Amino acid sequence: MSKRHRCFLLFFVFLLGSNSLLSRENNRSTSIALIENDSHLIVTNQESNSISIINVQQGYEKIGEIPVGSRPQTAAFDNLHKNIFVSNQNEGTLSIIDFDSLSNAGCLETNLAPFGVVVGEHLIFVSNQESHNVTVYDKSNFVRLKTINTEKFPRGLNLYEEKDRLYVTHFKNGKLTVINTNTLEIDNVINMGSNASLSQSVTITDDGKHGYLPQTFSNTINTSLQFDSAVFPSVSVVDLENGANLRKKRIGLDIVDRPVGIPLEAALNSSGDLYIVNSASDDISVVNLSNIDGVAHIEVGRNPKGIALSKSQQRAYIDNALDGTISTIDIETNLEIETFEVTLLEENARLLNGRRIFNSSSRTDLSRDQWVACSTCHFDGGNDGNSWFFTDGLRNTPSLFGVSETPPFHWSGNLDELQDVEATIRDVQGGTGLAVGESNCSPSCDQGTPNKFRSEDLDDLALYLTSLKFPSSARLGSMPQDSPYKRGEALFFDEKVGCASCHYPPLYSDGLKHNLSSTTDNIASFFDTPSLRGLTSSAPYFHDGAASTLEDVLQLSTQNDRHGSVSHLSALQKQDLLTFLKRIPIAETSIEPKEAQSCLPPSQVFGITKEMAYSDLQLNGTYFRIGGRFNLTLESSSNTPTITYVAIVPPSGDFYTIRTDGSLSALNSITSYETSFTPKEQNRKTIVNTTLPNNLKAGDYRILVVTVGIDKEVTNSENWLSFDEAVFEIRGYL
C-alpha cells in the first residue's frame, strides 16, 4: 500500500477536535443584560417591539430605543464586533443592532418562534421553541452552520464555553439538554421529573458543577383541585458533572421564602445568594444556597421577566415587562432603590390592564397567597400540556389562541361568555373575584346572569382574551397539488372519514356540543367541538388528554371509529391525514401580524475568527439487500471556502471516492465530491439514491466524509475541518 493511500485511509479513522480552555464568561439568554463592562444595560421590550439601551453610568439615561421585530424575547451582546442580537419570537428572525451607531445592521432568518440567544467566541446559538431545535450561526459572517434537533419547546440557553457546553431548557417538560459546542451534538438530556414545567432558564455556578432551574411543578394527580396543591414554585438543582437531577436538593420557594407565582429566571452572586425572578407574583426571592435559607423577599414591578447582576456584585437590575421599567436592587441591603422607565407601553389602556390581570397572581382578587395566575396554565396564551381533575372530570388544558372565535367555552361548553372565567378565578385560583357578589355561575355559567359589564377589570380580561391570536409560526406556505398535505386535506373532507362533519372550516369547529362516548371509556358525555387550528402546539388531545400525540389520536380513533372513521385507511393515508392536521389553515385575521415586512441580511460582515465546517451523513437504513433501495444524503455547512471528499470503504478495505454526479472514482483514487468557493449555508444534498446492483459483495461497508479548506491537502489530517462516518451492512439478495 502506498504512503499516500495509508495517509488517506488514516484521515477516515481519525477525528481531530479542539478544546480551548480559555476563561470565558458563563452567559445565559435573558431579556436584560449588562454590557461593555457594566456601563450599559440592554433590555428587550416585548410589548413595544423594541430594544432599549441604557447608560448606567450617566444616571440611567436611555440613549436609544430601536425598533425590532414583534415579540422580542432575549438579547445578547458580541463584545468583539459590538453587535446586539435580539430574538423576535413572532417574526422567526434575529435582529442585529450595531451598538456604536444604535441602528439596525441587518436580520437573520431563524426557525419557528426563536426565544433564547447567546453569543460565544465564534458562534451564535438560538433556541427555536416551535420547531424544536437550536440553530447555530458564525458570529462574524452570519452563515448558518447547523440546526440541532432537540426535545420539544427549547427555550432558555446558557453557554459555558470553558467546558464546551451549551445548556438548553425545555419550557413544557422541564428537561435540560446538554450540547457539546465542539461537535454541536447532544451529549445528554437530564430529566427534572414528569411534572416540571415553565422552565425558561438555567443558572450555572462559576465552576460549572451545578445548575439551578426555576420551574413550576404541577400536581396533576390531585383529584381535589385546590390553588395551593395544584402547582409548586421550585428551583431544581442539577449535578452537571454527572448529568443528574438532584431531586432531594430541589428548593421549594413557598417553603424557604413564601408562596410565589411562576419563577422564571435567576442570578447567582459571589456570596451564594440566588436571586429568583417570580413573574406572576411580581417579586424576587433571595435564597442562600449554603443553608437553603430565604434571606430576602423584594417586591418589584409588574411581570418581571429577567435579571442582570453587576460584576461588582453591588446592583441587580430587573426587567418589569408589563410596566416598561427596570427596578434597581441594592445587593447589600436587598432593597429596591430606584425604578426607571425604558419604554412607553402605548397599548390600549384597557387591553394592557387585561394583559396585566392575566399574568398576575399578586392581587388577592385574582389569586390566594399568590399561587396561581391565568398564565400559570396558559403562559403567553398557550397551554401547559397537562390534564387536571376538575369537578366535571379530567380536563386537558386548551390553548387560548383564537378562543373568542369559538364559543361556547370549556370542554363542556358551559361558559357562554369570556367573562365567565370569573368562576375560574374564584374556584381554581382562589381569588375573591373581579366582580362584586356571586360569580353568576350557578347552576352553571351559561344558565346564570351575564357577567359582562359587571366589572371593568373582568371586561378588560375578556378583551385581552379576545386579542389572543395564533403566532405567526402558524402561517401556512403554499403546498404542491400532489403532496402529502393535499392528499391529507382530501381525506379530511372525505365524507366516509367524517372529520369535516364536525370540524369544518374556517374555524374547524361546528360550535356545537355532541353526545359522544369517549374514545377512552364508554361514558356518554356532551363535549363542545374544539377547533383544530394550531394542533401541533396544543398537545395532549381529547378532553381528558388521553392522546399524547396526533398519531395517538388516530390510533385511538382506529380502535372503535367513534371519532371519525379511520380504520379503513392505509398507513400512508394516515400519514397524509396527519400532515394536514399538523398544518390546518388559519385565517390571516386570526394570526398575530409581523412587525417587520422583510428580513435583510447584514451588509457588513467581519473576518472569521476560526475556520469551521460541519457534515452529517444520513442513510435510509443500517443494513441492505441487493435490489433494495439505498439512499445517502449529506447535510453540510462551512463558514469558509471548502472542498468536501466522500469515500466508500467496502469489506476489502480499499476505497472509492464519490464524485459530484454520484459516480465512483477508480479504486483507491482521491476525487473531491464538492468545492465551495464561498461560505456555505447549511444545506442537504442527496449523494446516492439507487437500487443496489447485484455485483456488490455482502459484508460491512463504511462511508466517510471529510471537509478541508479550499487550498488544503486532504491527506493531512490536521487540515480537516469536519469528519463524519456512516456504517452499513449488505446481507445478500432480497
Same domain, 484 and 567: yes
Closest CA relative to residue 533, chosen from 407, 685, 403, 624: 403
Tell me the pLDDT tens digit for each residue of 216-254.
999 999 888 888 889 999 999 999 999 999 999 999 999
Q: Are residues 456 and 568 in the same domain?
A: no
Give the Cα-Cα-Cα angle 600, 605, 608 (nearest 5 degrees).
135
pLDDT at 400: 97
Q: Is the pLDDT of residue 14 over 70?
A: no
Is 52 part of a structural domain of the chain?
A: no
Please check whether residues 697 and 659 belong to one and the same domain.
Answer: yes
**Cβ contact 105:601 at 8 Å:** no
Show the cell assigned to 43: 433590555
Name the packing angle between helices 456-467 and 349-358 (round to 10°). Answer: 90
Residues 6+ apart with CB under 8 A from 576: 484, 485, 487, 488, 491
423-434 mean pLDDT: 95
Q: And the C-alpha cell for 336? A: 429596591
Cα separation values, 347 from 49, 343, 354, 615, Å: 11, 12, 11, 47
> Looking at the structure, do residues 482 and 577 belong to the same domain, yes or no?
yes
Strand partners, 124: 119, 137
Alpha-carbon distances, residue 459 vs 259, 373, 422, 451 (angstroms):
28, 17, 10, 9
Q: Using DSSP, how many helices (H) and how many strands (E) does the chain show?
A: 10, 44
Question: ∠231-234-237 over CA atoms, to 5°?
Answer: 140
pLDDT of 489: 96
* The pLDDT of residue 8 is above 50: no
Domain co-membership, 626 together with 691: yes
**% of the chain exceeding 70 in pLDDT:** 95
What is the rounded distance in angstroms from the CA atom of residue 734 to the CA atom of residue 731? 9
pLDDT digits (tens, 9 = 90+) for 596-653: 768 999 989 999 999 999 999 999 999 999 999 999 999 999 999 999 999 999 999 9
Phi first, then psi: what are they for 585, rounded to 5°?
Answer: -65, 145
Residues 393 and 502 in one domain: no
For residues 218 and 173, what is the distance between their CA atoms, to the nearest angstrom? 11
Given 550, 585, 620, the domain boundary residue is 585
| Residue 12 pLDDT grade (very low, low, confident, very high; cuts 50, 70, 90) | very low
Q: Which residues contact 478 (CB under 8 A, 6 or more apart)?
A: none
- Omega cis (within 30) before 304: no
Domain harbouring 698, CATH code? 2.60.40.2550
**Closest among 643, 642, 646, 624 to 633, alpha carbons compared:** 646
Are residues 689 and 638 both part of a single domain?
A: yes
Q: What range defines the domain where residue 557 resides?
A: 476-585
Confidence of residue 700 (pLDDT cuts 50, 70, 90): very high
Burial 217-227 (b: 16+ CB within 10 A, else e): bbbbeeeebeb
Looking at residues 31-44, what average pLDDT do you find?
97
566 and 493 co-located in one domain = yes
Within-domain flag for 418: yes
333-386 per-position pLDDT tens digit: 999 999 999 999 977 999 999 999 999 999 999 999 999 999 999 999 999 999
Position 523 pLDDT exceeds 80:
no
Count of structural domains within the chain: 3
Determine which of 62-71, 206-215, 517-526 has the lowest per-residue pLDDT on average.
517-526
CATH number of the structural domain spanning residue 381? 1.10.760.10
Whether 626 maps to a domain, the answer reads yes
pLDDT digits (tens, 9 = 90+) for 255-298: 999 999 999 999 999 999 999 999 999 999 999 999 999 999 99
Residue 100 neighbours by CB distance under 10 Å: 9
**Contacts for 423 with CB less than 8 Å, ≥ 6 apart:** 415, 439, 441, 445
pTM of the entire predicted model: 0.93
Phi, psi of 703 (to 5 degrees): -120, 135
Q: 689 with 725, same domain? A: yes
pLDDT in tens, 441-451: 887 888 888 99
For strands 680-691 and 50-55, give the pairing.
unpaired
- 448 Cβ neighbours under 8 A, 6+ residues apart: 439, 440, 441, 442
Q: Is residue 451 part of a domain?
A: yes
How does DSSP assign 456-511, residue by residue? Answer: HHHHHHHHHHHH--B-GGG------TTSHHHHHHHHHT-TTT-GGGTS-TTTT---
- Mean pLDDT, the chain, as a whole number? 92
If you write DSSP's letter for every residue of 185-240 in order, what string do you get? EEEEEE---TTEE-----EE-TTSSEEEEEEEEE-TT-SS--HHHHEEEEEEEEET
Distance CA 83, CA 94 (A): 12
Residue 331 placed within a domain: no
On whether both 556 and 626 belong to a single domain, the answer is no
Same structural domain, 385 and 443: yes
- Per residue in 183-203, pLDDT (tens digit) is 999 999 999 998 999 999 999
Which of 536, 569, 585 corresponds to the end of one domain? 585
How high is the pLDDT of residue 25?
42
DSSP secondary structure letter of residue 354: H
Domain annotation covers residue 628: yes
CA distance 297 to 371: 16
Angstrom distances, CA of residue 699 to CA of 441, 650, 663, 669: 72, 8, 21, 22
Residue 26 has what pLDDT? 59
pLDDT of residue 24: 34
For residue 654, being part of any structural domain is answered with yes
pLDDT score of 561: 72
pLDDT band at 515; cut points 50, 70, 90: confident
Do 390 and 397 contact (CB within 8 A), yes or no?
no
Q: How confident is the model at residue 573 (pLDDT cuts 50, 70, 90)?
A: very high
- Do both 408 and 377 map to the same domain? yes
Q: How does DSSP classify residue 440? A: S
| Helix, strand, or coil (residue 552) | helix
Tell me if 376 is assigned to some domain.
Answer: yes
Of the candidates 708, 703, 730, 707, the one whose C-alpha atom is nearest the C-alpha of residue 632 is: 703
Least confident of 149-158, 170-179, 475-484: 475-484
Q: Mapping DSSP to helix (H, G, I), strand (E, B) and coil, where does residue 275 land?
A: strand
Average pLDDT over residues 99-117: 97
Element (H, E) at 572: helix 571-582
In sequence order, what are the residues at sequence separation of 6 or more whose Cβ sits closer than 8 angstroms to the Cβ of residue 408?
Answer: 414, 415, 416, 446, 511, 513, 528
H or E element: which one contains 159? strand 154-160
